[in-house]
Structure 1
Amino acid sequence: MTDQAWPWPAGAATGIGSLPGTDIAEAQRIVLGELPALPHLPELPARGPGADLIGRTAGLLVELPVELYAARWRIAPRPGRDVRRARDLMERDLDQLAEQAEEYAGPVKIQTGGPLTLAASLELPIGGRMLRDPGAVRDLTNSLAEGLRGHVAAVARRLPRATVLLQLDEPSLPTVLAGRVPTESGLGAYRAVDPSAAASLLRTVVEAAGVPTVVHCCAPDVPLELIRSTGAIGVALDLGLVTDLDPLGEAIDAGLGLLAGAVSTTPSSAGRAPTSAQVADRVRQLWDRLGFPRRQLAEQVVVTPACGLASASGQHARAVLAACRDAGRRLAED
Structure 2
Amino acid sequence: MNAVATGVSGPGPMPGVDPRESARVVLGECHRLPFLPELADRGLGADQVGRTLAMLADLPVDVSPRGWRLAGSPGRAARTASDLLDRDLDALEEADESVRAPEGDPAPVDRRLVARVLGPWSLAAQLELPGGLPVLTDRGARRDLAEALAEGVADRITRLAGRMGAGARIVLDEPMLWHVAAGTVAGPSRFDPIPAVPEDRLALSLCRFADVLRRGGVTDVLIRVPAGTGPEAPARWSAVSQAPRGETPLDGLCVPAELLHSSRSHSALDAAGTVLGAGRILQMEGLPGIARPPRTGADVERSVSMILALLDRLSAPRHAALDQLVFTPTVEDMVSGRVGPVEALAAVRRVTEAAPRLAE
Distance, in Å, in 2 between the alignment partners of 1:204 and 1:292 is: 28
Name the structure, 1 or 2, with higher relative contact order (CA <8 Å, separation 6+).
1
On the 8 A contact 1:228/1:256 being kept in 2, the answer is no
Map of 2:255 onto structure 1: 237
Residue-by-residue CA offset, 1:248-289 (whole Å, 9 max, x unaligned): 22332123310012348x974xx9646322332332222122
Map of 1:137 onto structure 2: 142
Distance, in Å, in 1 between the alignment partners of 2:162 and 2:80 is: 22
Following TM superposition, by how much is the alpha carbon of 1:302 offset from its aligned partner in structure 2, in angstroms? 0.9
- 2:302 corresponds to 1:288: no
Q: 1:122 aligns with which of 115, 121, 127?
A: 127
Map of 1:3 onto structure 2: none
Q: What is the identity, as a one-letter code, of the residue corresponding to 1:156?
A: A
On the 8 A contact 1:297/1:331 being kept in 2, the answer is no
Q: 1:96 aligns with which of 91, 99, 105?
A: 91
- 2:81 corresponds to 1:62: no
Map of 1:35 onto structure 2: 30
In structure 1, the gaps of 5 or more residues are 1-8
Following TM superposition, by how much is the alpha carbon of 1:222 offset from its aligned partner in structure 2, in angstroms? 5.3
On the 8 A contact 1:174/1:222 being kept in 2, the answer is yes
Map of 2:114 onto structure 1: 109
Distance, in Å, in 1 between the alignment partners of 2:65 and 2:222 is: 33
Moved over 4 A (4+): 186-189, 271-274
Following TM superposition, by how much is the alpha carbon of 1:55 offset from its aligned partner in structure 2, in angstroms? 0.9
On the 8 A contact 2:115/2:169 being kept in 1, the answer is yes
Following TM superposition, by how much is the alpha carbon of 1:224 offset from its aligned partner in structure 2, in angstroms? 4.1
On the 8 A contact 1:141/1:201 being kept in 2, the answer is no
Map of 1:200 onto structure 2: 204
TM-score by length of 1: 0.88
Distance, in Å, in 1 between the alignment partners of 2:207 and 2:201 is: 10
- 2:328 corresponds to 1:323: no
Q: What is the identity, as a one-letter code, of the residue corresponding to 1:175?
A: H
Q: Mark the CA change 1:39 to 1:156 in structure 2 (over 3 Å): closer, same or farther.
A: closer
Q: 2:286 aligns with which of 257, 262, 272?
A: 262
On the 8 A contact 1:174/1:219 being kept in 2, the answer is no
Q: Mark the CA change 1:157 to 1:254 in structure 2 (over 3 Å): closer, same or farther.
A: closer
Q: What is the identity, as a one-letter code, of the residue corresponding to 1:67?
A: D
Q: 1:307 aligns with which of 315, 328, 331?
A: 331
Comparing 162-171 and 86-95, the one that deviates more:
162-171
Distance, in Å, in 2 between the alignment partners of 1:184 and 1:123 is: 10
Map of 1:12 onto structure 2: 7
Distance, in Å, in 2 between the alignment partners of 1:227 and 1:79 is: 36
Following TM superposition, by how much is the alpha carbon of 1:71 offset from its aligned partner in structure 2, in angstroms? 5.0
Q: Mark the CA change 1:65 to 1:176 in structure 2 (over 3 Å): closer, same or farther.
A: same
In structure 2, the gaps of 5 or more residues are 102-106, 229-234
Following TM superposition, by how much is the alpha carbon of 1:58 offset from its aligned partner in structure 2, in angstroms? 0.8
Q: Mark the CA change 1:251 to 1:153 in structure 2 (over 3 Å): closer, same or farther.
A: closer
Following TM superposition, by how much is the alpha carbon of 1:325 offset from its aligned partner in structure 2, in angstroms? 0.8
Q: Mark the CA change 1:272 to 1:188 in structure 2 (over 3 Å): closer, same or farther.
A: farther
Q: What is the identity, as a one-letter code, of the residue corresponding to 1:79?
A: P
On the 8 A contact 1:19/1:42 being kept in 2, the answer is yes
Comparing 281-290 and 127-136, the one that deviates more:
281-290
Question: Counterpart of 2:346 in 1: which secondary structure?
Answer: helix
Map of 1:332 onto structure 2: 359
Q: 1:251 aligns with which of 256, 271, 275?
A: 275
Cα RMSD after superposing both structures:
2.3
Q: What is the identity, as a one-letter code, of the residue corresponding to 2:169?
A: L
Q: What is the identity, as a one-letter code, of the residue corresponding to 2:202?
A: A
Distance, in Å, in 2 between the alignment partners of 1:195 and 1:50 is: 31
TM-score by length of 2: 0.82
Q: 1:79 aligns with which of 66, 74, 80?
A: 74
- 2:195 corresponds to 1:170: no
Q: Mark the CA change 1:32 to 1:276 in structure 2 (over 3 Å): closer, same or farther.
A: farther
Following TM superposition, by how much is the alpha carbon of 1:150 offset from its aligned partner in structure 2, in angstroms? 1.2
Q: Mark the CA change 1:261 to 1:224 in structure 2 (over 3 Å): closer, same or farther.
A: farther
- 2:38 corresponds to 1:46: no
Question: Counterpart of 2:323 in 1: which secondary structure?
Answer: helix
Distance, in Å, in 2 between the alignment partners of 1:183 and 1:235 is: 29
Residue-by-residue CA offset, 1:185-207 (whole Å, 9 max, x unaligned): 35774211122322333233312
Q: What is the identity, as a one-letter code, of the residue corresponding to 2:5?
A: A
Counting matched residue pairs gives: 321
Distance, in Å, in 1 between the alignment partners of 2:274 and 2:162 is: 37
Distance, in Å, in 1 between the alignment partners of 2:320 and 2:286 is: 18
Q: Mark the CA change 1:10 to 1:208 in structure 2 (over 3 Å): closer, same or farther.
A: same
